[in-house]
Amino acid sequence: MWHFEIVRLVLNSLLPLVSLASAVSASFPNPLPLEGDHVYVHDPSLIQRQSDGKYFLFTSHNEAGIITATNLSGPWTEVGSILPNGSSINLPGRNDIWAPDVSLHNGTYYAYYAVSQSGSQNSSIGLATSPSLDPGTWTDHGQVFRTKKNDPYNAIDPNLAIDEHGEPVLTWGSYWDDIFQYSLISDLSAVTGSPKQVAYNSTIIGTTPRPDEGSFLWEHGNFYYLFFSSGQCCGFNASALPAPGVEYKVFVGRSASAHGPFVDANGVDLRSAGGTLVIASHDNVYAPGGEGVFTDMSDGIGRDVFVYHYLLAYGPWAYQEQNATVGLNGIDWSSGWPVLTEL
């Protein structure tokens, strides 16, 4: 564990060593500086508890780790897991929960999560619920649906939203044919109908397709905005980084319907490799992704906050996934598109 203040001092002394790969763009605002000890965060889901305004941050791994704070800037403290004994889903990876997505519906907190292994389509999305968000209060309801080898999709990275008719929709998927949606039954416990593709990126760099994954659907104004991550997320070697721009970054498209079709600012359909860039590597932020949005009510009015994970771009912990951390930025919606700001 390292301390943010110590890291800032060390990194300031190493500024001349900034990697060219971290300088894809310098036009993005830096994330909110965090206080306290470092806590591992990957595929974050952030929510503010209604009863007391406390922040709960959920992460991949650590059996869906739970991290809390009373201020967005921290200090953040690891307090436990959603599923400390692993998922009841009997698949490889049941003790390595991925990408929990947590939201409040009808007084209950719902956490959709994924059980899988890298490179496998033998995957499942599960559901757990809690009355309070606290560790020890979560009930695992098991599998919502699963995928298998040779399916055109993969059951990971779930995200729950409510469509324009008040009906629940689950957006999910990555690699293969990328991002899909299922409608959910009214109690949110199972899918119904057939999956619908909402984003696909066929762009090739060398011999590697650019995946779309980590989708997040957010309603603002007259539109639903579909955010997604694209590029290489993990497994970086500091001495052999991918070409600048190949690493993770976040794009967005929008639609008047939660079901699409979603198009970018140039009118290109997300199913045809469209996407407007939201954030990419810059300054000390490398490979940002695994994103989400939540509304912070600490001011009594509400402000939308963009949440993502990233790796450090320089210093002794550069490009190391075990030191992934959370990034927090504001969102300016005035153009009709999400533009990140400092918090």
Catalytic residues, by residue number, are 43, 213
Compute the radius of gyration of the chain from its Cα atoms. 19
Q: Which two tokens stand for residue 305?
A: 């906050």
Sequence-distant contacts of 332-337: CB under 8 A, at least 24 apart: 333/220, 333/221, 333/304, 336/221, 336/223, 336/254, 337/252, 337/254, 337/265, 337/276
Pairing of strands 276-279, 285-296: unpaired
* CA dist list (Å): 160 to 14, 212, 305: 41, 17, 17
Distance CA 209, CA 144 (A): 28
Which residues on adjacent β-strands are paired with residue 306? 293, 329
Distance CA 153, CA 151 (A): 5
Positions of E strands within 120-188: 123-130, 139-147, 159-162, 168-172, 179-184
Distance CA 212, CA 215 (A): 8
Residue 242, classified by CB atoms within 10 Å of its CB into exposed (0-12), middle (13-18) or buried (19+), is middle
Distance CA 187, CA 3 (A): 43
Distance CA 289, CA 311 (A): 10
| Residue 44 near residue 61, CB atoms below 8 Å | no
Q: Which residues contact 288 (CB under 8 A, 6 or more apart)?
A: 248, 249, 250, 279, 280, 281, 308, 309, 310, 327
- State which H helix or E strand residue 4 sits in: helix 4-12
Distance CA 23, CA 275 (A): 21
